[in-house]
Amino acid sequence: MSIAATPKGERRRQALVAAAADLILEGGIDAVRHRAVAHRAGLPLASTTYYFHSLDDLVASAVQHNGRRELDVMRSRVQCVPPSDRGPESTADLIVDLLVGPGGVGEIERERLIARYERCVATARHPELRDVQQELRAQIEQLLTDLLQRCGRSVHEPQLRRLVAVVDGAVLGALSDLDPDPRALARCILPGVLEGVAPPAEQEA
């Protein structure tokens, strides 16, 4: 039986994961240390090594926790979009809303964006994060596919990552320039990319 199989053990384990996840949002992966996590969770220091094989194991669980929180928000955004044929401009708006967030990006949302891209870079240095990142990427692509279909567009799955790459590149550039609106550049570029990657379904009927 797992050491976290009891209700109390599972509660403690989840508290540690949530604490580590919050630390990642605030200071990146390097902020996750045994003592900091235990203090944030209000648990003994030894609990971090009791419930996790290593610090890397804890970090991977925390990254997955943050990713799932992002996915829950994204999923609710997609579900709120009624099916309707949409032009490239309005479709681009919805894509940016999905991948970046609707409206202005406040300080909390900005920190979440930074944490998301730090997670991508960290995957190159932390092999234990690769499976987590691949799972999250696949689910984001599925949500994007659902959104595009709701907008009356055919989805060319092999090219789907082009849309994500356009948004990622624009947002990263804006974040590094301290641009207060990381949505803007992606919003300008997307309409032209859309026609090649996800044309209106009626054109392929």
Concatenate the DSSP letters of all residues of 160-203 into one string: HHHHHHHHHHHHHHHHHTT-S-THHHHHHHHHHHHHHHS-BGGG
Considering the entire predicted model, what is its pTM? 0.84
- What's the rounded mean pLDDT across residues 73-89? 95
| Architecture of the domain made up of 1-51 | Orthogonal Bundle (1.10)
Angle at 177 between CA 173 and CA 178, to 5 degrees: 115
- What's the rounded mean pLDDT across residues 132-140? 91
Indicate the CATH number for domain 61-195.
Answer: 1.10.357
State yes or no: pLDDT of 8 exceeds 50: yes
**pLDDT tens track for 13-40:** 999 999 999 999 888 888 999 999 999 9
Neighbours of 67 (CB within 10 A): 21
Q: Cite the residue boundaries of each domain of the chain with CATH code 1.10.10.
A: 1-51
- What's the rounded mean pLDDT across residues 143-167? 90
For residue 200, list its beta bridge partners.
153
Pick from 84-93, 97-106, 127-136, 151-160 the range whose average pLDDT is largest. Answer: 84-93
pLDDT value for 126: 82
The chain-wide mean pLDDT, for the chain, equals 88
pLDDT value for 1: 38
Q: Cite the residue boundaries of each domain of the chain with CATH code 1.10.357.
A: 61-195
- What's the rounded mean pLDDT across residues 8-16? 93
